[in-house]
A and B are shown apart, each in its own frame.
Chain A
Amino acid sequence: MNETRDDVLLDKAFLALADPARRRIIARLSRGPATVNELAEPFAISKQAVSKHIQVLEQAQLVTRTRDAQRRPVHLNPARLEALTAWIDRYRLVREEQFRSLDAVLSQQAARSGPQAKDPS
């Protein structure tokens, strides 16, 4: 199966989010855009380290930076985060499909073994 661009991005995003510091940055950004300085403040890490984390998040397209001269605030990219949670929806769909097939198999089996009277309660 050829890896699509989406798969590559998805992998990048999962890798980016594997780091707890980056997850905290994402959590902070979910409350609104912030500069590198503002992001470095609550964490006991240097601005350089935060910048690196942001680069990784940017490459995974989880965040974007606007060209606001010096400030260059970092924004969350909600569409990308949504794409990440899309796997849950897919998971649900596949399972649902599987259960419907199971229902069908069970109906077939029930029909084969003759009408089994359910309690007519």
Chain B
Amino acid sequence: MTNALQVSVPEGVPFINFSRELDFPVAAVFQAHRDPELIVQWLGPRGLKMEIDHYDFTTGGSYKYTHTGPDGVPYDFSGIFHTVRENEFAIQTFEFSGYPDVVSIESQTFEDLGDGRTRLTAHAVYPSMEARDGMAASGMEEGLSEGYDRLEELLGTLSEKTPQEAS
């Protein structure tokens, strides 16, 4: 029972849309987005150390976290939570230190599908096509310093994945 990730990168507009269903109740999914202790366990790419400076998932709150690659180079991500409605919706800004002053706006909808399932839908808007392609490409490459091949291999074996680190 794999929940497929849908990603669409429309032509001619600087958007990225994705959605994914989860076999968990909306409150649990929302909590995993709000609690910094849970955030560190999933938001960072594997193999990168994630450190949260602050993460205040409330309307008007802000966040800043750092991913450190195996080479010791830190990458900062920061932004503001413009609107956060519990178990429903969040809209935030996003800036990657590798592309300073280029800020995307990302909205996320938490949709209760009933029967303990949730659909997450996200819509990211970049200031230009270049920003979208360049930033997404570069941000993703940093995230993948461990290697594309390894990641594919990882995804291949993930079907029977167990929680990576029970604290």
Residues of A within 8 A of B (CB): 1, 7, 10-11, 14-15, 18, 84, 87-88, 90-110, 116, 118-119, 121
Residues of A within 8 A of B102 (CB): none
Contact of A108 among B144, B151, B152, B166 (CB under 8 A): B166
Contact of A107 among B46, B158, B163 (CB under 8 A): B163
Contact of A102 among B22, B136, B138 (CB under 8 A): B22
A11→B134 CA distance, assembly (Å): 7
Given A99-B5, A106-B24, A10-B42 contact (CB < 8 Å): no
A62→B18 CA distance, assembly (Å): 28
| Contact of B41 with A by CB under 8 A | yes
| Contact of B45 with A by CB under 8 A | yes
B38 to chain A, nearest CB (A): 5
Residues of A within 8 A of B164 (CB): 101, 104
Residues of B within 8 A of A (CB): 3, 5, 7, 9, 16, 18, 20, 22-24, 28-29, 31-32, 38, 41-43, 45-46, 69, 71, 73, 115-116, 129-130, 133-134, 136-138, 140-145, 148, 151-152, 154-155, 158, 161-164, 166
Contact B24 A91 (CB under 8 A): no
Majority DSSP secondary structure for residues of A touching B: helix
B33 to chain A, nearest CB (A): 9
Chain B's closest residue to A15 (CB) is B130
Contact A1 B42 (CB under 8 A): no
A36→B51 CA distance, assembly (Å): 53
The 9 closest A-B pairs by CB, nearest first: A87-B137, A101-B42, A106-B24, A102-B42, A104-B163, A90-B140, A108-B163, A92-B7, A105-B41
Given A99-B20, A102-B32, A14-B140 contact (CB < 8 Å): no
Residues of B within 8 A of A110 (CB): 24, 28
Residues of A within 8 A of B162 (CB): 104
Contact of A105 among B9, B18, B42, B155 (CB under 8 A): B42
Contact B73 A1 (CB under 8 A): yes
